[in-house]
Amino acid sequence: MAQPVYLVVDVKIHDADAYGKYKEKVKPLIESYGGEYLSRGGEINLLENELWEPTRMVLVKFPDKESAMNWYNCEEYQLAKKIRIDNATSTSFFIEGL
C-alpha cells in the first residue's frame, strides 16, 4: 500500500493580486492529481522557532509520491509556478506520511 505524501509550503506573498492568479490555477490542478488541501494559510500558533519563523503555511496531502511528483513536474504546474516565483518567496518540500 502506498504511503501518502505531504507538500509543505511556507510562502511570503509580495503581490497578493498576482498571487491570487496562481492560487486559482493551482488548486484545481492539485486536485486533479489527487491532492487535498489540509491547510491553506490558516492561523499559525508558533510554539517554538529555533530553526525558522513560518509566514504563510500550506499543507497538501497527495495519495502517494508518484502523484505528488507527477503534479509538481507537469507542464501546467510549471507555467503556474512561474507566477508564484515572480510574486512570492517560498520554501517547499514533500514529506512521506501516514
Please write the tens of the pLDDT for every residue from 56-68.
999 999 999 999 9
Tell me which amino acid residue 14 is: H
Q: List, for residues 64-92, the tens digit of each pLDDT value.
A: 999 999 999 999 999 999 999 999 999 99
Q: What is the DSSP letter of 30?
A: H
Which pTM was predicted?
Answer: 0.92
- 3-state secondary structure (DSSP) of residue 91: strand
**Cell reading at 17:** 493580486
C-alpha distance from residue 31 to each of 15, 54, 58, 65, 67 (Å)? 24, 25, 14, 15, 10
Mean model confidence pLDDT for the chain: 96
Ranges of each domain in the chain = 5-43+55-96
- CATH entry, 5-43+55-96, from 3.40.718.10, 3.30.70.100, 3.40.30.10, 3.40.1480.10: 3.30.70.100
What is each CA distance from 37 to 16, 26, 42, in whole angstroms? 20, 11, 11
Q: pLDDT by residue (tens digit) across 19-48?
A: 999 999 999 999 999 999 999 999 999 999
